[in-house]
Chains A and B, each alone.
Chain A
Amino acid sequence: MKFLVTKDLAHSTLLTYLMSAVVFAILLYIGLDVILHAYIIGLDRSSIEATLFGDEVNFIEPILIDSLLLQVHIDLFMTLFAILILASIYIRLYANKAMTKWVVHLLFLFGMLAPVMLMLAYFTGPSLSMIWLITFMIWHFLALFVAMMILKKLLFK
């Protein structure tokens, strides 16, 4: 973040290329992360509930708490770094916009709520499983929006 804040690099072409490349990589990560969670947890009500609570009809055992917590642990780490990089660049480029502050707040809040909701859903029952899906999709769409806004500014200014 120190390199993104410093004024000396404000007109560096190299920094522009580097920021574009890292945002592009994060963009790919966001897409693949959705696919990964579709495989591990599921992205519709029946598959999420079958993963978290099992399905007696189809002989599916509920996911082990160790496996779910490990996924949440990894998700928190990966989300933190992805959002931290996106937010730092977004603030640098859109510091004067009034909505920047709220976009960054929402991005971090939903990024944090998604793994917390997944754990809560596991312990409280099916009612929260859809809340997890909503928070998960919101943070991914917000990250997608922020990444696109950054690339738009960097590549088409």
Chain B
Amino acid sequence: MKNLALYTIPIGYMLIYVVLILASGLWLFLLSQGLDSSEGVLHTIESISYEPKPKSLHNFIEVAAPHLFAMGTLIFVVAHFMLFSTNISQKVSRMVSMGVFILALLNICSYLAISFGLVVSGWIKLVALLAFVLLFLVLLGMVAFSL
């Protein structure tokens, strides 16, 4: 296979793009929860934990629908590069990839529990979001390590 090394360029840039997408997504979420210049990030996180902003079913579906498609596709595209990896075993890749998929689903659906009043505090959303971002970063690191 000729010039396979050239393909490391798009894969490398893809990792940076995904980090930017994650960062802008986090920022958007915090803005939707009341982050502004007068209140810091920590205060916003604290207020999400105690009293997350109410979200109707309409609002939930409006956010969930594009994210189910976009996050599923993005995770698949990133994770499929692990098929080429010779540094990390397929078993580890499978576990991490499936973990990211499950946490993405949990992250999207967690606000449903808040909207329907199943949980009062927003800790479930914060935990799901944090776990998803951290495991996705691990997956990105694995792809970077395999380049």
Contact = CB atoms under 8 A, between A and B. Distances in A.
Contacts of A109: 13
B16 A112 contact: yes
A5 B3 contact: no
B77 interface: yes
Residue among B14, B17, B31 with the highest chain A CB neighbour number at 10 A: B17
Contact of B10 (A73, A96, A108): A108
Contacts of A65: 31
A2 B83 contact: yes
A112 B3 contact: no
Interface of B: 1-4, 6-7, 9-10, 13-14, 16-18, 20-21, 24-25, 27-28, 31-32, 70, 73-74, 77, 80-81, 83-84
A87 B3 CA distance: 14
27 contacts: A1-B10, A1-B80, A1-B81, A2-B80, A2-B83, A5-B1, A5-B4, A7-B1, A69-B28, A70-B28, A73-B21, A73-B24, A73-B25, A73-B28, A76-B17, A77-B74, A80-B17, A80-B21, A83-B10, A84-B77, A88-B10, A91-B7, A96-B2, A101-B6, A104-B9, A108-B17, A115-B20
Contact of A76 (B9, B24, B32, B73): B24
Contacts of B3: 91, 95-96
Interface of A: 1-2, 5, 7, 65-66, 69-70, 72-73, 76-77, 79-81, 83-84, 87-88, 91, 95-96, 100-101, 104-105, 108-109, 112, 115-116
Contacts of B84: 2
Main SS at interface, chain A: helix
Nearest to A78: B70
Contact of B6 (A104, A108, A112): A104
Nearest to B27: A69
B7 to A, nearest CB: 6
Given A79-B17, A84-B14, A112-B20, 11 more contacts: A1-B81, A5-B4, A77-B70, A80-B18, A83-B13, A100-B6, A104-B6, A104-B9, A104-B10, A108-B13, A112-B16
Contacts of B73: 81
